[in-house]
Amino acid sequence: MSRIGIFDSGVGGLTVQRAILEALPSVDTVYLGDTARVPYGTKSADTVTQYSLRNARVLARHGIDLLVVACNTASAVALPALRAELAVPVLGVVEPGARAAARASRGGRIGVIGTQGTISSGAYQAALRAARPDAEVVARACPLFVPLAEEGWTDPDDPVVRGAVARYLAPLHDARIDTLVLGCTHYPLLRAAIARELPEVALVDSADAIAAEVRARIGEENGREGAHAFLVTDTPERFLAVAGLFLGRTVTSAEHVDV
Protein backbone atom coordinates (compact mmCIF):
# COMPACT_ATOMS: atom_id res chain seq x y z
CA MET A 1 0.00 0.00 0.00
CA SER A 2 1.33 3.47 -0.83
CA ARG A 3 1.94 6.06 1.85
CA ILE A 4 1.60 9.72 0.87
CA GLY A 5 3.12 12.55 2.85
CA ILE A 6 1.21 15.84 2.68
CA PHE A 7 2.22 19.14 4.21
CA ASP A 8 0.62 22.53 4.45
CA SER A 9 1.14 25.71 6.46
CA GLY A 10 -1.84 24.74 8.61
CA VAL A 11 -5.26 23.13 8.29
CA GLY A 12 -6.11 24.28 4.76
CA GLY A 13 -4.23 21.41 3.13
CA LEU A 14 -6.78 19.01 4.58
CA THR A 15 -9.03 20.04 1.66
CA VAL A 16 -6.31 18.62 -0.62
CA GLN A 17 -6.08 15.46 1.47
CA ARG A 18 -9.86 15.15 1.28
CA ALA A 19 -9.79 15.25 -2.53
CA ILE A 20 -6.97 12.68 -2.59
CA LEU A 21 -8.87 10.33 -0.28
CA GLU A 22 -11.98 10.64 -2.43
CA ALA A 23 -9.90 9.57 -5.43
CA LEU A 24 -7.83 6.94 -3.57
CA PRO A 25 -9.63 5.74 -0.42
CA SER A 26 -7.10 3.05 0.45
CA VAL A 27 -3.82 5.00 0.51
CA ASP A 28 -2.14 5.71 3.82
CA THR A 29 -1.34 9.33 4.58
CA VAL A 30 0.82 11.34 6.97
CA TYR A 31 -0.26 14.99 7.13
CA LEU A 32 1.91 17.72 8.62
CA GLY A 33 0.35 21.10 9.40
CA ASP A 34 2.96 23.77 10.27
CA THR A 35 0.51 25.46 12.63
CA ALA A 36 3.25 27.15 14.67
CA ARG A 37 4.45 29.13 11.63
CA VAL A 38 1.22 29.57 9.67
CA PRO A 39 0.57 31.48 7.40
CA TYR A 40 3.12 31.12 4.60
CA GLY A 41 1.32 33.42 2.17
CA THR A 42 2.62 36.64 3.74
CA LYS A 43 6.24 35.49 4.07
CA SER A 44 9.29 35.58 1.81
CA ALA A 45 10.15 32.80 -0.63
CA ASP A 46 13.35 32.10 1.35
CA THR A 47 11.53 31.60 4.62
CA VAL A 48 8.77 29.49 3.03
CA THR A 49 11.43 27.32 1.36
CA GLN A 50 13.24 26.75 4.68
CA TYR A 51 9.98 25.81 6.41
CA SER A 52 9.03 23.50 3.52
CA LEU A 53 12.36 21.66 3.73
CA ARG A 54 11.97 21.15 7.46
CA ASN A 55 8.44 19.80 7.02
CA ALA A 56 9.56 17.47 4.24
CA ARG A 57 12.40 16.06 6.36
CA VAL A 58 9.96 15.11 9.11
CA LEU A 59 7.64 13.41 6.61
CA ALA A 60 10.55 11.62 4.90
CA ARG A 61 11.30 9.92 8.22
CA HIS A 62 7.80 8.42 8.08
CA GLY A 63 8.63 6.26 5.06
CA ILE A 64 6.51 8.06 2.48
CA ASP A 65 6.48 7.06 -1.21
CA LEU A 66 5.33 10.44 -2.52
CA LEU A 67 5.24 13.99 -1.13
CA VAL A 68 2.29 16.26 -1.90
CA VAL A 69 2.80 19.95 -1.20
CA ALA A 70 -0.77 21.01 -0.43
CA CYS A 71 0.07 24.64 0.28
CA ASN A 72 -0.13 26.79 -2.84
CA THR A 73 2.49 29.24 -1.58
CA ALA A 74 5.00 26.45 -0.83
CA SER A 75 4.17 24.83 -4.17
CA ALA A 76 4.83 28.15 -5.88
CA VAL A 77 8.27 28.79 -4.36
CA ALA A 78 9.79 25.63 -2.82
CA LEU A 79 9.43 22.76 -5.33
CA PRO A 80 12.97 23.00 -6.80
CA ALA A 81 14.56 22.89 -3.33
CA LEU A 82 12.30 20.03 -2.23
CA ARG A 83 12.98 18.00 -5.37
CA ALA A 84 16.73 18.55 -5.00
CA GLU A 85 16.71 17.16 -1.47
CA LEU A 86 14.09 14.40 -1.38
CA ALA A 87 14.50 10.87 -2.69
CA VAL A 88 10.75 10.49 -3.39
CA PRO A 89 8.67 12.28 -6.04
CA VAL A 90 7.33 15.69 -5.03
CA LEU A 91 4.06 17.07 -6.42
CA GLY A 92 2.79 20.59 -5.90
CA VAL A 93 -0.68 21.99 -6.53
CA VAL A 94 0.29 24.80 -8.92
CA GLU A 95 0.98 22.85 -12.12
CA PRO A 96 -2.02 20.49 -11.88
CA GLY A 97 -4.27 23.47 -11.11
CA ALA A 98 -2.89 25.49 -14.01
CA ARG A 99 -3.29 22.59 -16.44
CA ALA A 100 -6.89 22.01 -15.30
CA ALA A 101 -7.66 25.69 -15.82
CA ALA A 102 -6.03 25.68 -19.27
CA ARG A 103 -8.29 22.75 -20.24
CA ALA A 104 -11.42 24.31 -18.70
CA SER A 105 -11.05 27.73 -20.32
CA ARG A 106 -13.11 28.34 -23.45
CA GLY A 107 -11.57 31.63 -24.52
CA GLY A 108 -8.19 31.56 -22.77
CA ARG A 109 -8.95 34.45 -20.41
CA ILE A 110 -7.83 32.94 -17.13
CA GLY A 111 -7.71 34.51 -13.68
CA VAL A 112 -5.84 33.27 -10.65
CA ILE A 113 -6.25 34.36 -7.04
CA GLY A 114 -4.01 33.42 -4.12
CA THR A 115 -1.91 34.73 -1.27
CA GLN A 116 0.59 37.55 -1.68
CA GLY A 117 3.42 35.00 -1.80
CA THR A 118 1.76 32.81 -4.42
CA ILE A 119 0.83 35.69 -6.71
CA SER A 120 4.15 37.54 -6.32
CA SER A 121 6.07 34.38 -7.23
CA GLY A 122 4.47 34.35 -10.69
CA ALA A 123 4.35 30.54 -10.55
CA TYR A 124 0.70 30.18 -11.57
CA GLN A 125 1.09 32.80 -14.28
CA ALA A 126 4.08 30.90 -15.75
CA ALA A 127 2.37 27.50 -15.45
CA LEU A 128 -0.78 28.82 -17.14
CA ARG A 129 1.21 30.30 -20.03
CA ALA A 130 3.16 27.04 -20.37
CA ALA A 131 -0.04 25.00 -20.47
CA ARG A 132 -1.76 27.39 -22.84
CA PRO A 133 0.51 29.82 -24.65
CA ASP A 134 -2.41 31.90 -25.97
CA ALA A 135 -3.80 32.51 -22.46
CA GLU A 136 -4.36 36.00 -21.13
CA VAL A 137 -3.69 35.73 -17.41
CA VAL A 138 -4.93 38.12 -14.72
CA ALA A 139 -3.61 37.49 -11.21
CA ARG A 140 -4.70 39.01 -7.91
CA ALA A 141 -3.71 38.50 -4.29
CA CYS A 142 -6.66 38.39 -1.87
CA PRO A 143 -5.10 38.68 1.61
CA LEU A 144 -8.41 38.83 3.50
CA PHE A 145 -9.83 35.58 2.11
CA VAL A 146 -7.90 33.27 4.47
CA PRO A 147 -8.90 35.13 7.64
CA LEU A 148 -12.50 35.36 6.41
CA ALA A 149 -12.61 31.59 5.81
CA GLU A 150 -10.95 30.84 9.15
CA GLU A 151 -13.43 33.11 10.93
CA GLY A 152 -16.26 31.20 9.22
CA TRP A 153 -17.45 34.35 7.45
CA THR A 154 -18.23 32.75 4.09
CA ASP A 155 -21.96 33.34 3.56
CA PRO A 156 -22.49 35.02 0.15
CA ASP A 157 -25.25 37.14 1.71
CA ASP A 158 -22.94 38.51 4.41
CA PRO A 159 -22.23 42.15 3.47
CA VAL A 160 -18.66 41.93 4.78
CA VAL A 161 -18.00 38.85 2.62
CA ARG A 162 -19.75 40.35 -0.40
CA GLY A 163 -17.86 43.63 -0.07
CA ALA A 164 -14.45 41.98 0.22
CA VAL A 165 -15.10 39.53 -2.61
CA ALA A 166 -16.39 42.26 -4.93
CA ARG A 167 -13.39 44.48 -4.25
CA TYR A 168 -10.76 41.80 -4.86
CA LEU A 169 -12.48 40.33 -7.91
CA ALA A 170 -13.31 43.63 -9.66
CA PRO A 171 -10.18 43.58 -11.88
CA LEU A 172 -10.91 39.96 -12.86
CA HIS A 173 -14.50 40.87 -13.63
CA ASP A 174 -13.38 43.84 -15.70
CA ALA A 175 -10.92 41.62 -17.60
CA ARG A 176 -13.83 39.33 -18.52
CA ILE A 177 -12.07 36.14 -17.45
CA ASP A 178 -13.87 32.90 -18.31
CA THR A 179 -11.98 30.67 -15.83
CA LEU A 180 -10.62 31.32 -12.34
CA VAL A 181 -8.10 29.22 -10.40
CA LEU A 182 -8.78 29.19 -6.66
CA GLY A 183 -5.06 29.22 -5.85
CA CYS A 184 -5.20 28.78 -2.07
CA THR A 185 -6.50 25.87 -0.02
CA HIS A 186 -8.92 28.10 1.89
CA TYR A 187 -10.63 29.67 -1.09
CA PRO A 188 -13.03 26.81 -1.88
CA LEU A 189 -14.76 27.74 1.40
CA LEU A 190 -15.65 31.05 -0.31
CA ARG A 191 -16.69 29.36 -3.56
CA ALA A 192 -20.37 30.37 -3.30
CA ALA A 193 -19.52 34.02 -2.73
CA ILE A 194 -16.97 34.00 -5.56
CA ALA A 195 -19.45 32.29 -7.90
CA ARG A 196 -22.05 34.95 -7.18
CA GLU A 197 -19.60 37.71 -8.08
CA LEU A 198 -18.42 35.92 -11.26
CA PRO A 199 -21.46 33.87 -12.30
CA GLU A 200 -20.28 33.00 -15.83
CA VAL A 201 -16.80 31.94 -14.78
CA ALA A 202 -15.58 28.33 -14.40
CA LEU A 203 -13.97 27.89 -10.97
CA VAL A 204 -11.01 25.50 -10.78
CA ASP A 205 -9.95 24.01 -7.44
CA SER A 206 -6.32 22.86 -7.43
CA ALA A 207 -7.21 20.18 -4.85
CA ASP A 208 -9.25 18.23 -7.39
CA ALA A 209 -6.54 18.66 -10.01
CA ILE A 210 -3.75 17.31 -7.84
CA ALA A 211 -5.94 14.42 -6.63
CA ALA A 212 -6.36 13.33 -10.25
CA GLU A 213 -2.60 13.53 -10.74
CA VAL A 214 -1.84 11.50 -7.62
CA ARG A 215 -4.33 8.87 -8.76
CA ALA A 216 -2.71 8.74 -12.20
CA ARG A 217 0.68 8.13 -10.57
CA ILE A 218 -0.24 5.65 -7.90
CA GLY A 219 -3.07 3.85 -9.63
CA GLU A 220 -6.07 2.36 -7.94
CA GLU A 221 -5.28 0.31 -4.88
CA ASN A 222 -7.89 -2.08 -3.64
CA GLY A 223 -8.05 -3.06 -0.07
CA ARG A 224 -8.78 -1.78 3.35
CA GLU A 225 -9.48 1.82 4.25
CA GLY A 226 -6.20 3.73 4.48
CA ALA A 227 -4.60 4.74 7.78
CA HIS A 228 -4.04 8.42 8.49
CA ALA A 229 -1.66 10.19 10.87
CA PHE A 230 -1.61 13.91 11.64
CA LEU A 231 1.37 15.96 12.83
CA VAL A 232 1.27 19.61 13.89
CA THR A 233 3.95 22.07 15.01
CA ASP A 234 1.73 24.05 17.41
CA THR A 235 -0.28 22.33 20.14
CA PRO A 236 -2.91 19.97 18.65
CA GLU A 237 -6.06 21.45 20.27
CA ARG A 238 -6.93 24.15 17.74
CA PHE A 239 -6.03 21.91 14.82
CA LEU A 240 -8.33 19.18 16.11
CA ALA A 241 -11.13 21.70 16.68
CA VAL A 242 -11.37 22.56 12.98
CA ALA A 243 -9.71 19.65 11.16
CA GLY A 244 -12.96 17.76 10.65
CA LEU A 245 -14.51 20.75 8.89
CA PHE A 246 -11.70 20.85 6.32
CA LEU A 247 -11.20 17.09 5.93
CA GLY A 248 -14.87 16.08 5.92
CA ARG A 249 -14.22 13.25 8.38
CA THR A 250 -13.44 13.09 12.07
CA VAL A 251 -9.87 13.65 13.22
CA THR A 252 -9.44 12.47 16.80
CA SER A 253 -5.72 12.80 17.41
CA ALA A 254 -2.70 14.72 16.19
CA GLU A 255 0.88 14.58 17.38
CA HIS A 256 2.96 17.64 18.18
CA VAL A 257 6.33 17.72 16.40
CA ASP A 258 9.18 20.23 16.45
CA VAL A 259 10.51 21.02 13.00
The residues carrying an active-site annotation are: 71, 184
Amino acid at 258: D
Residues of 22-57 as b/e, b for ≥16 C-beta within 10 angstroms? ebbebbbbbbbbbbebbbbbebebeebbebbbbbbe
Q: Residue 29: phi, psi to the nearest 5?
A: -135, 150
Reduced to 3 states (helix: H, G, I; strand: E, B; else coil), residue 164 is helix
State the nearest-atom distance from the C-beta of 123 to a second copy, in Å.
18
State the nearest-atom distance from the C-beta of 42 to a second copy, in Å.
7
Distance CA 101, CA 94 (A): 11
- Taking each helix axis from N to C terminus, what angle separates 123-131 and 94-104, rounded to the nearest 10 degrees? 50
Distance CA 230, CA 56 (A): 14
Nearer to a second copy, 224 or 238 (CB): 238
Burial class of residue 259, CB neighbours in 10 A (0-12, 13-18, 19+): middle
State the nearest-atom distance from the C-beta of 36 to a second copy, in Å.
5
Q: Which residues bind a second copy (CB under 8 A)?
A: 35-38, 42-44, 46-47, 143-144, 146-148, 150-151, 153, 158-160, 163-164, 167, 233-235, 237-238
State the nearest-atom distance from the C-beta of 71 to a second copy, in Å.
16
Nearer to a second copy, 2 or 42 (CB): 42
